[in-house]
Amino acid sequence: MINSTDIARVRAKAKSIKAMVIGDAMLDQYIYGTVERISPEAPVPVLSHRHSEIKAGGSANVALNLAAWGCQTVLIGLTGDDSNAEVLAGLLENHGIRHHLFRSPHRPTTIKTRVVAMSHHLLRIDEESLEELREEEEARAAEHIRETILTEKPNLIILEDYNKGFLTEKIIGTVIGTGRELGVFIGVDPKEKNFFHYRGVDLFKPNLREASQAAHKALRIDDLGDVSRKWREEMKVRAIAVTLGSQGIHLSTEQDEYRAKPERSIDVVDVCGAGDAVICALALGMMSGLTPGDILSLANLTGAYVCSHSGVVTVDVHVLEQWA
């Protein structure tokens, strides 16, 4: 298991990193209450509302996690031209995260609303558009993204794909091509639609369900060695990490295949946001020169921290050091 000294080393490294997150930004809203009766109007529970909260989600949550490690962080994302875009911008600014939010009048800002009673999710409501950027919007965004990367000169770029229409093939190519020119470490959290467009990156992190969708079959853990090697060679990816939920993470590199189960036992409260925190831990662990075993241990520990809390939360590095 990773020790507190190595976690402190990652935290120290993070403070020297200029990070850029590019992808689908959104809001996560939670409506909390209690349920004590069924509606007389229909066979549905009646929620007695207690409180609500709204948080930055999607790629914005990845940016928050990198900032929590100490990285200087910039977010590039897509929103609607609406009040929720202002809310998202304010949440980012409150955490010292600079942002370039493309505001499109042709879509709403994505917001996921979860109704929760006694730690149980009753319902999720998604307000979003899944349409890709219009051609003129895509061209402007690609040009601005390239200029921003060249100006900011980040050490780390994470592409966070929630399949909400921002990361088109053109924008993905622009980011990876520009990043490669500068020698930037590039990590990707993919979805099925653009799965095989992320060629030539350093870290590729699907979960088992996403990997199975891309393979067009239900993958078992025992299949991941061969499948990951094949994809890594075809896509010219430095490392593929497939997250497995309670079964840990499988990591494929040029040197070998590794798998680590979570070392800390927790009561899982909520898995929302775990993948966002894990890709940050994997990328920072790789950039800090940790061993593969310690990289996976750090990522599993990070995921455990997030899953032990209700709602989308960012990692608390000091707690990780205490847990290690």
Domain layout of the chain by residue ranges: 4-27+57-109+129-323
Give tens-digit pLDDT for 234-268. Answer: 999 999 999 999 999 999 999 999 999 988 888 88
Residue in 6, 202, 276, 294 annotated catalytic:
276
Sheet holding 45-58, edge to edge: 45-58, 25-38, 111-117, 120-127
- Please confirm, yes or no, whether 189 is among the known catalytic residues: no
Give tens-digit pLDDT for 138-154. Answer: 999 999 999 999 999 99
Strands (E) across the chain are located at: 18-23, 25-38, 45-58, 72-80, 98-104, 111-117, 120-127, 156-160, 185-189, 203-204, 239-243, 249-253, 257-260
pLDDT at residue number 119: 83
- The closest of 201, 206, 194 to 249, measured between CA atoms, is 206
Would you tell me which CATH number, out of the four given (3.40.1190.20, 3.30.830.10, 1.10.260.40, 3.40.1160.10), belongs to the domain 4-27+57-109+129-323? 3.40.1190.20
pLDDT at residue number 270: 86
pLDDT at residue number 50: 96
pLDDT at residue number 267: 86
pLDDT at residue number 269: 87
Per-residue buried b or exposed e for 175-200, using 16+ beta carbons within 10 Å of the residue's own CB: bbebbeeeebbbbbbbbbbbbebbee
pLDDT at residue number 311: 84
**What residues contact residue 169 under an 8 Å CB cut-off, 6+ apart?**
194, 197
pLDDT at residue number 310: 84
**Residues of the chain predicted below pLDDT 50:** none
**What residues contact residue 113 under an 8 Å CB cut-off, 6+ apart?**
29, 30, 31, 124, 125, 126, 127
